[in-house]
Structure 1
Amino acid sequence: MKILRPFTSLFTLVVTGCVGNMNPTGGNSTPNYPYYITTETMLVKNIMVPKGTKLTYNEHFFAKGKQEHKMSEQRLTSINLPEGQTIDWGGVPVYWIEEFFNSEMRGYTVYADFSKLSADKKTKFSELWQSCSDGLGITIKNKEDWSFNKENIADVESCSVNYQRYFKDDSRQQTFLNEMHSELQKINSK
């Protein structure tokens, strides 16, 4: 699963244009985005993340690569947990949250590790999400909160490349996303 993650994410990025830290540079190189590795457990975008979490930020003229200090959360584009670790997001173990690439959209994509979801914790929401086998796009009201806060979640924007709000005329896709949003609202948050 981890080996395929970069390819799956790139495919999702290319097809949806919603996620990622992509910046066209005219070649095969990618920008050296500033990032910070947490040295202790801390609250980031209303999520408690463990030590060793990689926080990636927007490209910045004066900051490149690894940073010695955490940067402003307003610049944050990605939360990537340490290898093998997850946090609970809507009852699902997630290892990566990434802001939509399209700045016109307010939200992020959440990536789950379903191998860590025990059978007794499965819900209709987690089963629908798992059926997509990829990231779940969430639109939100407040950009400063990436937690599983149902009051802040406006909609389920996408589930992999198979289900997208973009395709308004495809009733199958819209019905699936409506059901996901409805089931998400039934989850008891902590």
Structure 2
Amino acid sequence: MKLFRKFSSLLTLILTGCIGNMNPTGGNSAPNYPYFITTEPVVVKKITVPKGTKLVYEERMFLEGKQDKMMSEQRLIEIEFPAGQTINWGGVPITSINKFFNSEMRGYTVYAKFDELSEDKKTKFSELWQNCSNDLGITIKNTDDWSFNKQNIADVNDCSVLYQRYFKDDEKQQTYLNELYAALLKVDLK
């Protein structure tokens, strides 16, 4: 009996020590992804980005933080425009583009800054987008092109967590995304 008590006390101490030190986020800090800050306007993923744009890349062994040169576009996971600057994507000012986290999905999320969209520039597309959120998930055919190229855009995958293609049986969500995609295809940037 004494041996059982000692063993259970030891087990309790070990488990308490382990649980007490666990981080619920799965680690002690976020990865220090390699990134490059552009020193001049440059074309990335068929988008002309301004000087000062932050290009973030996939984790790589022995590469962390700021890099001295651009890396391969194949490893790009985020384009973040300089503070206070946006680019036009489908007639909407955007602040960043992030590749989908799920590597099996071909696409990215664009983040709008609707307070910079003037009334005279609003379209059915921008209004539908703004009604659900500022982030819009886009599936694409060619992963080398993140521009507003309607021939490359396969679909609108999601608009916030409110509308997602994942919920195929939810007619309301699918209808809204279909309307959003149809409005996207009608955007005329001339």
SS across alignment from 1:30: coil
Work out whether 1:59 is the aligned partner of 2:59: yes
Q: Is the 8 A contact 1:149 1:189 kept in 2?
A: no
| Separation in 1, partners of 2:99, 2:115 | 24
Structure 2 spans left out of the alignment, 5+ residues: 1-23
RMSD across aligned positions (CA): 1.3
Give the aligned partner of residue 155 of structure 2: 155
CA contact (8 A) 1:56 1:77 kept: yes
Contact 2:114–2:134 (8 Å) recurs in 1: no
Identical columns (%): 69
What are the Cα deviations for residues 26-80 of structure 1, in whole angstroms up to 9, with x where unaligned?
A: 3131111000000000000000000000000000002110001000000000000
Superposed CA deviations along residues 78-129 of structure 1, whole A, max 9, x for unmatched, are 0000011000000000010000000010000000000100000000000000
Secondary structure at the counterpart of residue 172 of structure 2: helix
Mapped to 2, the partners of 1:131 and 1:50 lie a distance apart of: 28
Q: 2:121, 2:129 → 1: CA distance?
A: 14
User: What is the alpha-carbon distance in structure 2 between the residues aligned to residue 82 and residue 32 of structure 1?
Assistant: 19
Question: What secondary structure is seen at the aligned counterpart in 1 of 2:125?
Answer: helix
Question: Partner of 1:120: helix, strand, or coil?
Answer: helix
Corresponding residue of 2:4: none
Matched, 1:28 2:32: no
Question: Runs ≥4 in structure 1, deviation > 3 angstroms?
Answer: none
Aligned-partner Cα distance in 1 for 2:120–2:50: 25
Q: Match for 2:52: what amino acid? A: G
CA distance in 2, matches of 1:99, 1:77: 5
Give the counterpart letter for 1:82 in structure 2.
Answer: P
Give, as a single letter, the amino acid of the residue that structure 2 aligns with 1:76. L
Query: Residue 106 of structure 1 contacts residue 143 of structure 1 at CA under 8 Å; is this kept in 2?
Result: yes
Distance in 1 of aligned mates of 2:38 and 2:53: 5
- Aligned position for 2:166: 166
Output the amino acid matched with 1:132: C
2:95 is matched with which residue?
95
Question: SS at 1:43's partner residue?
Answer: strand
Q: C-alpha separation between the residues in 2 aligned to 1:62 and 1:107?
A: 27
- Single out whichever of 138-147 and 28-37 deviates more from structure 2: 28-37
Structure number with greater CO (CA < 8 Å, separation at least 6) is 1
3-state SS, counterpart of residue 109 of structure 2: strand
Distance 2:187 2:137 in 1: 17
